[in-house]
């Protein structure tokens, strides 16, 4: 959907302080149709990168290219793109519905299209009951939901979310993850930054991990986990009503299972020892 | 593009109106009414002239005050609160955003001036004042003055902090009114270099004094149409130039 080529961004708060490199020669490509997690510690350069992708700030060097499916002109690209900023702020005196209509109109939707989109997404985000309240009376979770709703209002091909799950309770996170999976199944590409690694592992096929503003890893979640797995498998079995565990090389699992069965032992569980994405990332850090 | 500008303007006005700012205008109007009536009651000679002077003066000051103090937050808060991300992540150019916000607050300012003018003029006519076309021109110039202040504070808020923006705009407003009087001082007239500096100021910086026609309204009751229209053109051109410069800067600005 888009590609970053050697993008660098430096900040300099004043003439007397040293330049700070927020993003350093960053290159990666976002595959169409995927859910990709954008990982990195606080201050790694995730939000700065997203701001450059959205053209809120400009890179000092390098370029960001969108593919033809997104459009050539900036207005066309933006009409195919939905963006949810981190901790989204809204106009406090507008109601949720007014805000949706405002954003929908800016995206070129007709009133009837906006209404049908609100009818579609309102119940999914469980926000329809609050649409006629002023946004200043919304809780943090409700703000995140209305923000997500307006992000999807114009049916974008690419959805970019900056820390969409932060600050939500477990139920809220689960529901938003379900929406991410749902829109991906509808053919949309999702790119979201997060520091909650377990969430990324749960919903993403691909992951881009940056460290100190530079690319550290780019690839599938399965690949990074596979590369960091021990290659061992643990067989849990029962013998004389006592549970025992046996950890062996994964290549020898079938032979070992046959042997245990022949010995009349009850196989309880066979599990491949694989680290979670979180464990891998923490080791890297 | 115009459609997007109008959408942003209408929702900006809606948000401001719902924040009950016009309630303040109503209180301001009641205050204006009382102050004007008191000034009328305590004056001798031509009390209706005093009522008109007070009314138009308060109208000008309040509309400039609102334009500066609300205008300084118009863009600054959008960037600071990141509400701007919700808008410019859609197919909306930065120029449309800037003009839309300007017109949104401008329409509220206009409404504010209309309300205060009506209150002020009701009292003036009730007290026996007579209609003069310069009253209407004075109200038009008050709108122009408020819009000019809004354009100045808009430009400043894109370049510096809120406090500095307010200080710069108020300084320009005061000096823009005082500069014509300064030029008439003997001290200045005797110093050609100083006079040249003042001429340069008058050429470059906003000449608010041109928009002040209260003396003509109160004492002379006449002003040529060519002056009135050329001043209108001057104000409108100045506002347009400031907005174009603001758009140019806003397009280059990193929205952190």
Write down the pLDDT at residue B29: 82
Residue B18 contacts A, CB cutoff 8 Å: yes
CB contact under 8 A, A89 and B81: yes
Write down the pLDDT at residue A284: 60
pLDDT in tens, B63-98: 899 899 999 988 888 888 888 898 999 999 999 999
**Nearest CA-CA distance, residue B248 and chain A, Å:** 15
* DSSP reduced 3-state for A213: coil
Strand partners, A162: A193
Interface residues on A facing B, Cβ-Cβ cutoff 8 A: 51, 54, 56-58, 74-76, 78-79, 81-83, 85, 87-94, 98, 102-103, 105-108, 134, 147, 150, 154
* Closest residue to B89, CB basis, from A54, A58, A134: A54
CB contact under 8 A, A89 and B83: yes
If you measure CA to CA, which chain A residue comes closest to B91? Answer: A75
CA distances for A164 relative to A78, A87, A121, B79, B171, angstroms: 19, 8, 16, 20, 45
If you measure CA to CA, which chain B residue comes closest to A92? Answer: B15
What is the distance between the alpha carbons of residues A201 and A220, in angstroms, rounded to a whole number?
Answer: 10
**Which chain A residues touch B88 with a CB distance below 8 Å?**
56
Q: Where are the domains of chain A?
A: 2-226, 230-282
Nearest to A195 by CA among A25, A44, A22, A83: A44
Supply the ipTM of this predicted assembly.
0.83
Report the first-to-last Cα separation within chain A, whole angstroms: 29
DSSP designation for A134: B
Each residue's pLDDT, cut to its tens digit, for chain A (285 residues) gives 888 999 999 887 666 777 888 888 889 888 888 899 998 888 888 889 999 999 999 999 999 988 888 888 888 899 899 999 887 778 888 899 999 999 999 999 999 999 999 999 888 888 888 889 998 888 888 888 899 899 999 999 999 998 888 778 888 888 888 889 999 998 899 998 887 777 888 888 888 988 888 888 888 877 777 777 777 888 888 877 788 888 888 788 888 888 888 888 888 888 877 777 777 776 665
**Residue among A85, A106, A133, A193 with most chain B CBs within 10 A, to mutate:** A106
Sequence-distant (≥ 6) Cβ neighbours of residue A89 within 8 angstroms: B81, B82, B83, B86
Sequence-distant (≥ 6) Cβ neighbours of residue B226 within 8 angstroms: none
Dihedral sign, Cα of residue B158, residue B162, residue B163, residue B166? positive
Residue B256 contacts A, CB cutoff 8 Å: yes
Work out the pLDDT band at B182, boundaries 50, 70, 90: confident
Full strand arrangement of the beta sheet holding A20-30: A20-30, A2-11, A61-66
What is the distance between the alpha carbons of residues B240 and B245, in angstroms, rounded to a whole number?
Answer: 9
Full strand arrangement of the beta sheet holding A232-239: A242-249, A232-239, A266-272
**Nearest CA-CA distance, residue B75 and chain A, Å:** 13
Report the first-to-last Cα separation within chain B, whole angstroms: 25
Strand partners, A257: none
Sequence-distant (≥ 6) Cβ neighbours of residue A198 within 8 angstroms: A276, A277, A278
Q: pTM value?
A: 0.85
Work out the pLDDT band at B229, boundaries 50, 70, 90: very high
**Nearest CA-CA distance, residue A284 and chain B, Å:** 29
- CATH number assigned to the domain covering A2-226: 3.40.50.300
Write down the pLDDT at residue A102: 93
CB contact under 8 A, A108 and B91: yes
pLDDT in tens, B14-45: 988 888 777 888 888 888 888 888 877 887 77
CB contact under 8 A, A106 and B4: yes
What is the distance between the alpha carbons of residues B243 and B99, in angstroms, rounded to a whole number?
Answer: 8
B205 burial level (CB within 10 Å; 0-12, 13-18, 19+):
middle
């Amino acid at each position: 959907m888009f590609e970053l080529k050697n993008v660098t961004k430096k900040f300099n708060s004043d003439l007397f302080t040293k330049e700070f490199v927020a993003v350093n020669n960053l290159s990666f490509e976002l595959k169409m149709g995927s859910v990709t997690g954008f990982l990195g510690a606080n201050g790694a350069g995730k939000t700065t990168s997203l701001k450059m992708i959205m053209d809120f700030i400009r890179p000092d060097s390098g370029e960001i290219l969108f593919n033809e499916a997104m459009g050539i002109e900036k207005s066309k690209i933006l009409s195919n793109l939905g963006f949810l900023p981190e901790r989204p702020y809204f106009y406090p005196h507008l109601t949720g519905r007014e805000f949706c209509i405002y954003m929908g109109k800016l995206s070129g939707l007709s009133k009837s299209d906006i209404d049908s989109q609100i009818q579609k997404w309102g119940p999914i985000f469980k926000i329809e009951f609050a649409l006629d309240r002023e946004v200043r009376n919304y809780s943090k979770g409700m703000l995140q939901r209305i923000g997500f709703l307006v992000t999807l209002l114009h049916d974008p091909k690419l959805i970019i979310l900056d820390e969409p799950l932060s600050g939500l309770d477990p139920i809220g996170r689960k529901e938003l993850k379900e929406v991410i999976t749902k829109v991906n199944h509808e053919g949309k590409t999702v790119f979201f930054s997060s520091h909650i690694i377990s969430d990324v592992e749960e919903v993403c096929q691909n992951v881009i991990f940056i460290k100190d503003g530079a690319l550290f890893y780019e690839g599938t979640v399965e690949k990074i986990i596979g590369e960091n797995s021990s290659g061992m498998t643990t067989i849990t079995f029962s013998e004389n009503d006592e549970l025992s565990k046996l950890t062996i090389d994964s290549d020898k699992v079938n032979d070992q299972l046959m042997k245990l069965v022949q010995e009349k032992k009850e196989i309880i569980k066979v599990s491949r020892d694989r680290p979670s994405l979180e464990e891998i990332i923490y080791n890297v850090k | 593009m115009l459609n997007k500008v109008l959408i942003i303007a209408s929702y900006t006005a809606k948000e401001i109106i719902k924040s009950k700012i016009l309630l303040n205008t109503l209180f301001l109007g009641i205050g204006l009414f009382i102050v004007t009536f008191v000034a009328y009651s305590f004056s001798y000679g031509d009390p209706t002239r005093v009522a008109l002077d007070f009314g138009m003066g308060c109208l000008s000051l309040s509309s400039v005050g609102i334009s500066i103090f609300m205008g300084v937050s118009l863009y600054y808060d959008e960037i600071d609160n990141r509400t701007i991300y919700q808008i410019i992540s859609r197919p909306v150019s930065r120029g449309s955003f800037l003009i839309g916000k300007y017109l949104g607050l401008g329409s509220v300012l206009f409404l504010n001036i209309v309300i205060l003018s009506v209150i002020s003029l009701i009292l003036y006519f009730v007290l026996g004042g007579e209609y003069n076309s310069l009253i209407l021109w004075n109200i038009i110039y008050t709108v122009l003055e408020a819009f000019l202040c809004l354009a100045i504070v808009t430009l400043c808020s894109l370049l510096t902090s809120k406090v500095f923006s307010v200080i710069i705009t108020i300084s320009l407003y005061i000096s823009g009114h005082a500069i014509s009087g300064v030029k008439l001082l003997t001290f200045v007239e005797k110093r050609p270099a100083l006079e040249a500096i003042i001429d340069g100021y008058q050429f470059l910086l906003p000449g608010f004094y041109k928009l002040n026609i209260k003396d003509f309204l109160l004492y002379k009751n006449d002003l040529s149409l060519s002056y009135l229209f050329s001043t209108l053109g001057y104000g409108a051109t100045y506002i347009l130039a400031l907005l174009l410069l603001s758009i140019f800067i806003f397009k280059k600005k990193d929205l952190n």
